[in-house]
Chains A and B, each alone.
Chain A
Amino acid sequence: MDPASKLSVDAFKNDQVPHIIVRQEICLQCDLKPCLRICPAGLYSISEETREILLEYTGCLECGSCRVVCPHGALEWYYPRGGFGVQYRYG
């Protein structure tokens, strides 16, 4: 099952503003880009055209693995505002 189908069973309350900001100028210099592989929700991808990192923040499971794995501190990483984001019903 792909991550998008799995995320569809979760309860999300999406904010209008992203809680993670990618500093593209840093990412362009990064060869490794481990963010593309670590995200359990598969939310990071790379633009074919601009080579920029694309982040679909609305499916974020808020694990923080992208913040930990980023070798260059390129993410301005916050939790979603209070009351927003994923709401686990089982946990």
Chain B
Amino acid sequence: MEQVDVVVVGGGIGGLTCAYCLAQEGMQVLVLERGDHPGSKNVTGGRIYLRPLQSYLPEILNAAPLERAVTKEVITMMGEDSSCTVQFTSDKFREQPLHSHTILRSRFDKWFGERVIEKGGFIIPQRRVTDLMKDDGRIVGVVSEEEEIPANVVVAADGALSLMAEQAGLRGPLAPRYAAVALKEVIKFTPEIIEERFGLAPGEGAAHLFFGSITQGIFGGGFLYTNRDTISLGVVLGIESFVQSGQAAETHQIFEAFKDRKEIASLLKDGKLVEYSAHLIPEGGNRPLPQPYGDGILVVGDAAGFTLNLGVTVRGMEYAVASGYLAAQTIKKAKVMGDFSASTLAQYETLLRESFVLQDMNTFRNSLDILENRRMVGFYPQWICKVLEEIFWIGEGPKKRISATAWNGVKEGLLNPTGLKDLWRLKRI
């Protein structure tokens, strides 16, 4: 194949953003997607936050086929046989431009791919990239099913596992410490049932996260997002933590046990399973690739480890869009200069540092170490449930003062060296 300006490996949200921005400027860009269409290999929890992206791709994001506007944030802490839920809603979530939407990627990415093509970008589906072409250490293109495709610059947008980042020598094989596996079911209802069951106005949605006993001591949690006429339900398990936990259960058994919980089972009644999926999440300790570029290559989105898990919010797609956009800005400049070496592409990192992408990564660089504390999933949720159970339970004999029960609970759970240390560490999130 003839040399092109840019080859994007992977038609996900980061790769497509980059391709869209380049095609818009009339640059020659080729997206290689190994699935039948962009999105057919992609999975999200998930939800996207739109505010951070208003200065990036508003025309795309405000017109895209998204699912429901999230107006309800719910967090449940799960004990062995009890649970405690905190629910938050605000009219701010209803203001335009909307704060956050649930999203299904197969549909969204396919639509986004069509917009890229409209701008003059090329998307070749069913094309797997197996290797990077190298010349004297420099990346000079890709190999797709034994066909060489030379390019001035390669954009690695190949997701969490990023074999391209690995081949480019920007990191070694993804380590268990830095990855979690997500298992997800898409379950179909009618929009009316979803709105009634979750207490939602038409078109509005809920984002619900679960922590505690459900992951059986493993770092991770459960999630439930309401889409238009489906819900996305799943569990996320840190891979290193899964191995170290010594649990005998398989990942899919942990997921099934989560679904069997009374709190969940009642939400799933009469739903029909329409898809089962699994995907990796980079849980890089909110530490992305130390250098997301090299000679002739830029790495965007999950491939670069641009995700942020703060327990209460879990984000990835905003960083993929922003990094894809900034990669495109960098490539445009490199094209003008006619130089695609690492020294020119280093501009990408400067732009990332000036944006919310690396600023967020930096602010929260230690948060995962704190959340990964086993007591966060293995003790505190259960402890809160136990204290509340004692407060709400009316037994046969005389009842203790509620203040005494609460105070004893606080003493037992927090006012000890371990508890105070955990509390102190929380300030670093």
Contact = CB atoms under 8 A, between A and B. Distances in A.
B429 to A, nearest CB: 25
Interface of A is mostly: loop
A1 B256 contact: yes
Interface string A39-64: 11110000000000000000001111
Interface residues of B, number: 56
Interface residues of A, number: 38
B95 interface: no
Interface in A68-91: 68-69, 73, 78-83, 85-91
B106 A91 contact: yes
B275 interface: yes
Contact of A65 (B40, B105, B106, B181): B181
Contacts of A39: 250-252
Contact of B252 (A3, A10, A34, A69): A3
B414 interface: no
Given A63-B279, A79-B34, A91 B125 contact: no
Contacts of B173: 67-68, 73
A17 interface: no
B161 A67 contact: yes
B413 interface: no
Contacts of B100: none
Interface of A: 1, 3, 6-7, 9-10, 13, 32, 34, 36-42, 61-65, 67-69, 73, 78-83, 85-91
Interface of B: 34-36, 39-44, 104-109, 125-128, 130, 144-145, 160-161, 163, 173-176, 179, 181-183, 185-186, 230, 232, 239, 242-243, 247-252, 255-256, 273-280
Given A68-B176, A69-B243, 16 more contacts: A3-B276, A13-B36, A38-B181, A40-B278, A41-B252, A65-B280, A69-B239, A81-B128, A83-B125, A85-B41, A86-B277, A87-B36, A90-B104, A90-B275, A91-B40, A91-B275
